[in-house]
Amino acid sequence: MLLQLNNIFKWVNSGGQRIFLLKDINLEVQEGEFISVMGPSGSGKSTLLNVIGMLDGFEEGEYTFLDEPVHSLKEKHRANLYKEYIGFVFQQYHLLDDLTVQENLEMPLLYKKIKGTERKAMVADMLDRFNIVGKKDLFPAQLSGGQQQLVGIARALISSPKLILADEPTGNLNSSQGEEIMALFKQLNDEGVTIIQVTHSEKNAAYGSRIINLLDGRMI
Partner 1 sequence: MLRSYLKIAWRNLSKNKSFTIINIGGLALGMAVTLMIALWIEDELTFNDGFEHSDRIAQVLANRTFNGQTDTNWTMARPLEFVLRDQYSDNFDHIVMCKNWVPQYLEYNGKKISKTGNFMQRGAPEMLSLTMVGGEKDGLRDMNSIMLDESTAHALFGSENPIGKTIEINGEFGVRVSGVYSDLPYNSSFHGMRFLMPLERFIASREWARNVISDWGNHSFSLFVQIADNTTFSNVSSKIKNVEKDQHTEAQFNPELFLFPMKDWHLRSQFKGGKQAGGRITYVWLFGIIGVFVLLLACINFMNLSTARSEKRSKEVGIRKSIGSHRSQLIKQFLGESFLVVMFAFASALLLVHLSLDSFNDLAQKEISFPWHEPLFWVASSMFILLTALLAGSYPAMYLSSFKPVEVLKGTFRAGKNATTPRKVLVVFQFSVSMAFIIGTVIVAQQINHAKNRPSGYDKKGLVQLPVMSKEFAGKQDLFRDELLASGGITEMSTSSSPTTGVWSTWGGFVWEGQPDNFQVDMAWTWVSPEYVESLNLDIVHGRDFSRTMATDSMTILINRTAMDYMGLPDPVGKHIWFPTDNGPQFKMKIIGVVEDVIAQSPYEPVKQSIYAYDRANNASFYNLRLNPAHSTAENLASIEMVFKQHFPQLPFEYQFVDEEYGKKFASEERIGMLSGVFTGLAILISCLGLFGLASYVAEQRTKEIGIRKVLGASVFNVWKMLSNGFLKLIVLSSLIAIPISYYIMDGWLQEFTYRIILKWWIFALAMLGAIVITILTISFQAIKAARSNPIKSLRTE
- Cβ count within 10 A of residue 18: 10
Instruction: Return d(Cα 94, Cα 97) in angstroms, integer.
Output: 8
Nearer to partner 1, 140 or 208 (CB): 140
Contacting positions for partner 1 (CB under 8 A): 46, 50, 53, 55-56, 75-76, 79, 82-83, 87-88, 90, 92, 94-99, 103, 106-108, 110-113, 155-156, 159
In the complex, least distance from residue 82 CB atom to partner 1, rounded to whole angstroms: 7
Give me the phi and psi of 182, to 5 degrees please: -65, -35
In the complex, least distance from residue 139 CB atom to partner 1, rounded to whole angstroms: 9
In the complex, least distance from residue 50 CB atom to partner 1, rounded to whole angstroms: 5
| Those residues with Cβ within 8 angstroms of residue 113's Cβ, 6 or more apart along the chain or in another chain | none
Nearer to partner 1, 112 or 210 (CB): 112
Nearer to partner 1, 36 or 104 (CB): 104
Nearest to 190 by CA among 211, 207, 210, 212: 207
In the complex, least distance from residue 206 CB atom to partner 1, rounded to whole angstroms: 27
The runs of H, that is alpha helices, within the chain are: 45-52, 75-85, 101-111, 116-129, 145-157, 175-190, 202-205
Nearer to partner 1, 92 or 144 (CB): 92
